Structure 1
Amino acid sequence: MERVILHSDMNSFYASVECMLNPELRGHPVAVCGATEDRHGIVLTKNTEAKAYGIQTGEVVWQAKQKCKDLIVVKPNYENYIKYSKLAREIYNRYTDLVEPFGMDECWLDVTGSTHSFGTGLEIAEKIRKTIKFELGLTVSIGVSFNKVFAKLGSDMKKPDAITVINKDTFKEKIWQLPASDLLGVGRATIKKLNYYGIFTIGDLANTSPDFLKDLLGVNGILLWKYANGTEKSLVTPNDFEVPIKSVSHGITTVRDLQSNNDVWPVILELIQDIGERLRKYNKYASGIAICVRDSELHFKEWQTKLPQQTNSSFYLAKKAYKLFNENYDWNCDIRSVTVRAINLVSEQTPQQIDLFSETQNIDKMERLETVIDNIRERFGKDIIRNAVLCQDIGMKSMTAKLTMPTGMCR
C-alpha cells in the first residue's frame, strides 16, 4: 500500500499567534522581532501584509521599517508559541500517532493507516486545516504526498491556508521545473555549487549522475538525488520516539558586552544551571564540556575538553567551562554572546574509572545537593534559590515570560 504523508506548516506562526490574540493587529503589517535593547533586533517572522512590502525574515528591524514605515513590531512571546504548537499537535493526534515535529510550527504525519477511518490524504488534510482554523484561529498549509520530502515541498508551494497534493505518478510534471533550492536539504552553499555546474532545477538534479553528485557533495549528494527522484523512504517517527541525546547546551546574547573574566563567570554559571538540571532530568552524565563565544566583532571561537570525571553537577561543570575559557580567550575583543555545551553524554549507570586524584566524594555531594535544589525550584520557582553571584546584574535578560491565552480557552 502506498504511503500517505502529510506535512503541516503553520503560516507565519509567531505573527499569526500575535494577531489572533490581539485582533487590533489584524489587517496591518506586523513583524515579530527580537528586542533591540537585548541585541536581537531582527525579524523572526512577519505576516502576509508585511511580506507585501518585501520584508524578509532575518533582516534587522531598521531595514524592515525603511521598507514599511507603518510596520508594527511585536516582541516574541515564546510560551504562547509553544502552547499553540502543542494544541496543534493534539489535533494531529486525533488522526494518527505518527506525528514527527520539524520545528515548532511544522510536523509530518503518516496517515496511511488512518485513511480507512477518515478518508483520503486530501480529505484528512482538509479536516485538519478546517479544525485548526476553527479551534485555534490559525491557518496551516499542508502538503500531501507519498514521502516526507515531497510532502514538505507541497506545504511550501501554496500559502497561506492551502493544501497541495503531489502524487507519485505525476510528481515530475509538478515539481521538476521548480528551483533546486526549493528541495529540502539544499541550502545556500549547496545551491552555489550546483548552479556552478548548470544544475538549477529539481529536474536537473534528478537527471544528474549520482556519482558526480557524490564527488561534488559527498554522501549528501546521493541523498539529494534520491530526494529529487522521489525515492526517499524515511519513516515518520511515532509520538513516543525519543531522539538519543548527544549534548545539552544553553547560550545567550548578553544585553551588554562582557569585558572581563569577572563578567563571564556568572554568565557561565547561570547558563549551566539549566544544563545541569536537564542532565539530571535525562539521567545523563557529561564526559566533556565545550564553550563558544562570539566577540564584539562577531567572530566565533570555540573550545572543548574532556572531564576527569563524568558528572551532571552544574557547579562542577561551570568551573570546568570557566577554566577552559580562562585558559584560551585572549581578550582582544569584548564578548557579545556565550554558549556552553555538555558533551559526550553517557547514562548515569555507565561505569567509570576513577583515580586517586578525582574529586569523587565532593562531586557526589554536589550532585545530591543540586538534586534537592531542583526539587525545591520545581515546587516554588527557579528563583527561590540562587547563587549569590547571580543576584547582581550579570548582563542577561530574565528568561521568565508570562503566558496569555484568549478568553474562554482553558488548557
Structure 2
Amino acid sequence: MRYETKSRARVIFHVDMNSFYASVEMAYKPSLKGKPLAIAGNPEERRGIIVTCSYEARKFGVKTTMPLWEAKKLCPDLIVLPPNFDRYRIFSQKIFQTLRDYTDLVEPVSIDEGYMDITEYIQKHPVSIAQDIQNRLLKELDLPCSIGIAPNKFLAKMASDMKKPLGVTVLRKRDIPKILWPMPVSEMHGCGAKTTEKLNGIGIKKIEDLAKANDVQLKNLLGINGIRLKERANGFDPRKVDPDSINDYKSIGNSTTLPRDITSEKDLLSILQSLARTVSARLKNKDVFTTNVAITIRYKNRKTITRSEKLENPIREEQDIYNQAKHIFMKHWDGSPVRLLGITGNDLVEEQHVVKQLDLFTFEEDAKEEPLIETIEQLREKFGHDIIKKGIKVERKEGQTDTSFDKDFLRKN
C-alpha cells in the first residue's frame, strides 16, 4: 500500500555520511572503532593538517583544518592516518548503489553526500524509509549517516546537519519560524564566511533577519544570490533532484589564432600566459576550479592536437594554469610553426566542493591567501551558494562510471 502524504508535497532526503573518511577507515579496520582517529595530509609531518576526524577525536576538541601538532596536544592518543582516496571512492560508489535501490532520483553532490527524491516511490512513512537506509548502510558497509527529510533540497540539507551522527530529522515549512529562523546566518547552507560577514555588516545576524530583509538592499549587497538566500530562508527552493547532473561536464577555455605562424618558444609561452590569464578570470567569474587542463596546438599545416592532464588538486589561479599549460605544451610541441594556441579547463568543480589533499606545504602556502581557508571551511561544513550555471554537456565516454566521481578531482590519472 502506497503511503500518501497529506500535502502531496515533494519528499526529499539529504543523505550525509558521518565523518566519512574516518568511518571508512574504521569499517576497513574495525580495531580503530571507538578510538580517536584523524585523517591528515602528510601525517608524518608534525604540522600536517587535519582533513577529518572521528567523533571520539572531536570530544577532545580536534577539528577539521586544525594543525596536527595542536590536535595531538589536545588528544595525545590521537591515531593519524593518511587519506586513501581510492578506498573512499569504492565505498562511495557502494553507498550510492544502495540509495538507488529506493529511487531512481538520486543526485550525488560530493563523495559523501547526495539528495534523493522519494515522492513517487513511497511505500511507507518517510522516516521509516530513512531509518531503513541508515540500517542498511550500517549493516552492509558499517558506515553511519545522517538524513534530513524535507519538501525541498535546501531544507533537507539543513535538516541533515541538525543531528549527527546517525540522525534522522524532519524539517517542514511550518517548522521554519521555530527551528530555522533563530539560527545564525553563518549556519545556513549557502552562507560562507564572506557572505556572513557582509550580512552581519548590515545587521542581518539570524536567518530570520535574512528572511525578512529588504530585497533591494540584499541585491545591492550580494546580487541575485542575495534574493536566492532570502528565498531559502523562507523555505523556498524549486531545484529538482537531478540524477543527470553527474554527467554535466563543464569547460572554460580560450584560444587565439596567431597573426602569423610562430616558432619562437618565448613568444609562444607569452601567448600561453595571456590565455591562462583569461581562463583564470573566467573560472573565478563562475566560482569554479578546473581539475583537468588541456592545450590545443594547431600547426602551420593545419594539423591540430589537443592534449590534457588531470590534476591532483583543483586550480584556477593564472600562474597555476600557465605552469600546467606550459608543462603540457613543452611535452607535446614538436617545434613546428604554430598557427593557433588554446587552453581549456575541463572537469570543473564548484567552489563549495573544493577540497585539497592537505599537507604542510600546500596548506601553509595557501593559508597566506585567506580565500582558500574560507573555501576549505565551506566544504567541510558543507556550505555552498548553489548558483553555478550548468556548462557544456558532453556525451558519455565508454568506461565512464555512473557516479559523479569522474569529475571528482580526487581521482588518479
| TM-score normalised to structure 1 length | 0.62
Rounded Cα–Cα distance in structure 2 between residues aligned with 1:39 and 1:286: 42
Aligned partner (choices 231, 238, 250) of residue 233 of structure 1? 238
The equivalent residue for 2:41 is 34
The equivalent residue for 2:247 is 242
Question: Could you give the per-residue CA deviations for residues 22-81 of structure 1, whole angstroms, max 9, x where no partner exists?
Answer: 122111110011114689921111001110111111122112111111111011111111
Q: Is the counterpart of residue 106 in structure 1 residue 113 in structure 2? A: yes
Q: Is the counterpart of residue 184 in structure 1 residue 182 in structure 2? A: no
Q: Is the counterpart of residue 9 in structure 1 residue 21 in structure 2? A: no
Rounded Cα–Cα distance in structure 2 between residues aligned with 1:316 and 1:48: 49
Q: Is the counterpart of residue 171 in structure 1 residue 176 in structure 2? A: yes
User: Contact (CA 8 Å) 1:11, 1:160: kept in 2 or not?
Assistant: yes
Q: Kindly tell me: are residues 239 and 95 of structure 1, through their superposed partners in 2, closer, same or farther at Cα, counting changes over 3 Å?
A: farther
The equivalent residue for 1:128 is 133
User: Contact (CA 8 Å) 2:47, 2:69: kept in 1 or not?
Assistant: no
SS in 2 for 1:127: helix
The equivalent residue for 1:54 is 61
Rounded Cα–Cα distance in structure 2 between residues aligned with 1:318 and 1:189: 46
Q: Kindly tell me: are residues 30 and 313 of structure 1, through their superposed partners in 2, closer, same or farther at Cα, counting changes over 3 Å?
A: same
The equivalent residue for 2:30 is 23
Q: How does 1:381-396 map to 2 (within 5 A)?
A: none
| TM-score normalised to structure 2 length | 0.62
Q: Aligned-pair distance for 1:170?
A: 2.2
Q: Is the counterpart of residue 193 in structure 1 residue 198 in structure 2? A: yes
**Letter paired with 1:26:** K
Q: Is the counterpart of residue 78 in structure 1 residue 64 in structure 2? A: no
Give the total of aligned pairs.
296
Q: How does 1:10-409 map to 2 (within 5 A)?
A: 10-36=17-43, 41-115=48-122, 118-239=123-244, 242-247=247-252, 301-302=319-320, 315-316=331-332
Q: Aligned-pair distance for 1:164?
A: 0.4
Rounded Cα–Cα distance in structure 2 between residues aligned with 1:96 and 1:348: 25
SS in 1 for 2:237: coil
Q: Aligned-pair distance for 1:212?
A: 1.1
Q: Kindly tell me: are residues 22 and 178 of structure 1, through their superposed partners in 2, closer, same or farther at Cα, counting changes over 3 Å?
A: same
SS in 2 for 1:28: coil
Q: Kindly tell me: are residues 213 and 286 of structure 1, through their superposed partners in 2, closer, same or farther at Cα, counting changes over 3 Å?
A: farther
Q: Kindly tell me: are residues 286 and 114 of structure 1, through their superposed partners in 2, closer, same or farther at Cα, counting changes over 3 Å?
A: farther
Rounded Cα–Cα distance in structure 2 between residues aligned with 1:170 and 1:25: 39
SS in 2 for 1:73: strand
User: Contact (CA 8 Å) 2:43, 2:80: kept in 1 or not?
Assistant: no
Q: Aligned-pair distance for 1:301?
A: 3.9
Q: Kindly tell me: are residues 204 and 336 of structure 1, through their superposed partners in 2, closer, same or farther at Cα, counting changes over 3 Å?
A: closer
User: Contact (CA 8 Å) 2:248, 2:392: kept in 1 or not?
Assistant: no
SS in 1 for 2:247: coil
Rounded Cα–Cα distance in structure 1 between residues aligned with 2:106 and 2:217: 35
User: Contact (CA 8 Å) 1:8, 1:106: kept in 2 or not?
Assistant: yes
User: Contact (CA 8 Å) 1:30, 1:72: kept in 2 or not?
Assistant: yes
Question: Could you give the per-residue CA deviations for residues 239-280 of structure 1, whole angstroms, max 9, x where no partner exists?
Answer: 5752132159xxxxxxxxxxxxxxxxxxxxxxx997569xxx
The equivalent residue for 1:386 is none
Runs of 4+ in structure 1 deviating by more than 3 angstroms, as ranges, are 36-40, 272-277, 285-289, 299-305, 312-320, 335-338, 345-349
Q: Aligned-pair distance for 1:300?
A: 8.1
Q: Aligned-pair distance for 1:183?
A: 1.4
Q: Kindly tell me: are residues 198 and 98 of structure 1, through their superposed partners in 2, closer, same or farther at Cα, counting changes over 3 Å?
A: same
Q: Aligned-pair distance for 1:151?
A: 0.3
Q: Kindly tell me: are residues 8 and 303 of structure 1, through their superposed partners in 2, closer, same or farther at Cα, counting changes over 3 Å?
A: closer
User: Contact (CA 8 Å) 2:103, 2:118: kept in 1 or not?
Assistant: yes
Unaligned runs of 5+ in 1: 249-271, 278-284, 326-334, 339-344, 350-374, 376-397, 401-411
User: Contact (CA 8 Å) 2:12, 2:118: kept in 1 or not?
Assistant: yes
Q: Kindly tell me: are residues 208 and 40 of structure 1, through their superposed partners in 2, closer, same or farther at Cα, counting changes over 3 Å?
A: same
Q: Aligned-pair distance for 1:121?
A: 2.2
Rounded Cα–Cα distance in structure 1 between residues aligned with 2:321 and 2:362: 17
Q: Kindly tell me: are residues 318 and 197 of structure 1, through their superposed partners in 2, closer, same or farther at Cα, counting changes over 3 Å?
A: farther
CA RMSD of aligned residues (A): 4.3
User: Contact (CA 8 Å) 1:97, 1:239: kept in 2 or not?
Assistant: no
Rounded Cα–Cα distance in structure 1 between residues aligned with 2:65 and 2:87: 21
The equivalent residue for 1:359 is none
Rounded Cα–Cα distance in structure 2 between residues aligned with 1:165 and 1:70: 37
Unaligned runs of 5+ in 2: 1-7, 254-289, 296-304, 344-360, 366-390, 400-410
Rounded Cα–Cα distance in structure 2 between residues aligned with 1:210 and 1:246: 33
SS in 2 for 1:109: strand
SS in 2 for 1:58: coil
Rounded Cα–Cα distance in structure 2 between residues aligned with 1:195 and 1:240: 33
Which structure carries more relative contact order (alpha carbon 8 Å, separation 6+)?
Answer: 2
User: Contact (CA 8 Å) 1:288, 1:304: kept in 2 or not?
Assistant: no
Q: Aligned-pair distance for 1:348?
A: 10
